[in-house]
Structure 1
Amino acid sequence: MSQSKLTELTWREVRRAGEQGIALVPIGSQEQHAGHLPMGTDTLLVETAVDRALEILDRETSAPQVVRLPALPFGHSPHHLFAAAVSLSAATLGAVLDDILDSLVTSGYRRVMVVNGHGGNDEIMRLAVKRFALRARVTVAACSYWTLTDGDGAGGEEAGRPEVTPGHAGWFETSLMLAAHPALVRTPVPARTPVEPPPLFDNPPHPGLTVERHGEWQRVGGSTDDASGADADRGGRLLEDRARGLARAIRAFDTASRSPR
């Protein structure tokens, strides 16, 4: 088996794996997900996507060596504190990622991939890896799992509804949770009541604008779109599509960054 969990390795095994392997760091959040999904939805989904991607790779010939770290369960979620969240400031999350990357390099790793499960982490994560690569001899990659699709025929229909992907506590995340952790979804999932004026965070008045208006999340009840039509079967296909996409991304990163033996 070419994939290992850092938690289960000895320090000598960690050192040996770092010589040619990739350290994979999932990051998530603990935050409100409306009334029907658990606080840890983002962490649970990124863990599922990562583990399924590694299972796919492990079935391949000459799979890349990957050491999976425990998921960082906290992220940048100040916009969800109106209900409940455990949030790190942007500066703190950046510093935590910097310390994790620095620890991995000190432990012998020269290739690290960060896989994100929460929208509020995305920009901070990307800045952290860019900044770190400027000062350390390391090759670092970053992605959010929902952006990666298989791109192989099924990706058309299974890429999901782009207008609500990933959204928050809406159709996409609820479908994935119904497939991955159905016991944690509170059912029946209520329909989302439209509000006027419509929120601007996911529907800006002009392409290219990022717009935030005070109090939007409270007005929409903590979700971006209607989750009442979420479907476990569709969620399973969407999740498998993302896992295959992530597996391809890990393979591509391995090929592009591998040092000659």
Structure 2
Amino acid sequence: MTVRHLALLPRGTVRALAAEDAVAVVPIGAVEQHGDHLPLGTDFLVVEAVLDRALEQLDDDDTTWVRLPTMTFGHSPHHLFTAAVSLRPSTLSDVLADVLSSLSQTGFRRIVIVNGHGGNDELVRLAVKAHALHTEGTAAACSYWTLSAETTADAAAAERPERTPGHAGWFETSLMLAAHPELVADDRPFQPSDPPPLFDRSPAPGLTVERYGEWPRVGGLTDDPAEATAATGRLLLGRRVAGLVAALRGLDQATTSAPGDRLPSTDRERGPHA
């Protein structure tokens, strides 16, 4: 077995795996409203579905992947108007810093965060950047919806970049129909907004726009979930799984080091001419 669950292992095994250069994988999601047809746990349920399927494909690799329990709470203040459990940016940043530091002190030198919620995206990326400034090893972060890999022509044709990831709309509802159909309601009410929210339809490429009151105005959904299907969800899920597999393998190959390859971390180690 090359995929292990940290919470199910005794301390000696964890320390040994860390010393053997295992990769710690930290999934994070959110608990927040997803309309009247999806559960509040959609973000962590979907990221778990993507990650666990990816780890199944990595199970025969030489590398050991140590999966942490999912961090279920994220940064979701924009959904508090109806229902959410949200952490402040400073709180989540501190939690992420502590998790990364704890893993490093346990011995892990390779850590990757796999994110399932848009409100966490900047924070997880900043966390790994900050961690790498003062701690040996490699830290990485990604959001699952940004990853895709070629699988089949039908899967590629199913993509709708203009509706990905959205919120509680076609994309997420399709994924939930594929991963947890029993949690998706048949009735999927949606009221189109005019104009559409600026946070989802920026007036210029590369421009992030937020306007007060947009989320309540549009009812908490970005697009119509009625067109979502389980078949489409399986295609979308397959591409994200393939993309995550490629990303994790790429990280593994780029960061595997032989004993003695460690960079000096202090002026004393660097020598008098540093």
TM range (shorter): over 0.9
Distance 1:48 1:225 in 2: 22
Instruction: Name 1:124's counterpart in structure 2.
Output: 123
**8 Å Cα contact 1:22/1:113 also seen in 2:** yes
Task: Summarize deviations over 1:146-177 as a string: whole Å, max 9, x none.
Answer: 1111135546324x210010111000000000
Any conservation in 1 of the 2:151–2:242 contact (CA below 8 Å)? no
Structure 1 residue 29: Cα displacement: 0.2
Residue type of the partner of 2:196? P
**In 2, Cα distance between equivalents of 1:131 and 1:68:** 22
Counterpart contact for 1:76–1:87, Cα < 8 Å: yes
CA distance in 2, matches of 1:259, 1:181: 39
User: How far apart, CA to CA, are the structure 1 residues paired with 2:156 and 2:49?
Assistant: 22
**1:38-70, Cα deviation, whole Å (9 max, x unpaired):** 000000000111100000112x4x342100000
Aligned equivalents of 1:118, 1:198: Cα separation in 2: 21
Instruction: Tell me if structure 1 keeps the 8 A contact 2:147–2:240.
Output: yes
Q: What is the rounded CA distance, in whole Å, between the counterparts of 1:151 and 1:197 in structure 2?
A: 34
> Cα distance, 1:209 vs. partner?
1.6
**C-alpha displacement at 1:194, in angstroms?**
1.7
1:198 deviates by 2.2
Counterpart Cα distance in 1 of 2:85 and 2:248: 30
Q: Structure 2 matches for 1:43-62, cutoff 5 A?
A: 43-58=44-59, 60=60, 62=61
**1:95-134 aligned within 5 A:** 95-134=94-133
**Residue in structure 1 matched with residue 202 of structure 2 by the alignment:** 204
CA distance in 1, matches of 2:110, 2:195: 46
How far, CA to CA, are the matches of 1:80 and 1:27 in structure 2? 17
Would you say the 8 A contact 2:169–2:223 is kept in 1?
yes
Number of residue equivalences: 257
**Alpha-carbon distance between aligned partners in 1 of 2:168 and 2:230, rounded to the nearest angstrom:** 15
- Identity rate, percent: 57
Provide Cα deviations, 1:164-221, integer angstroms capped at 9, x if missing partner. Answer: 101110000000000100111111223x222222211111122222111111111111
1:220 aligns with 2:218: yes
Match of 1:22 in 2: 23
TM-score (norm 1): 0.95
The 8 Å contact of residues 46 and 145 in structure 1, kept in 2 or not, is answered as yes
Q: Distance in 2 between matches of 1:208 and 1:141?
A: 23
Q: 1:89-128: per-residue Cα shift (whole Å, max 9, x none)?
A: 1111110000000000000100000000000000011001
Higher mean displacement: 102-111 or 197-206? 197-206
CA root-mean-square deviation: 1.2
Structure 2, gaps ≥5 residues long: 260-274
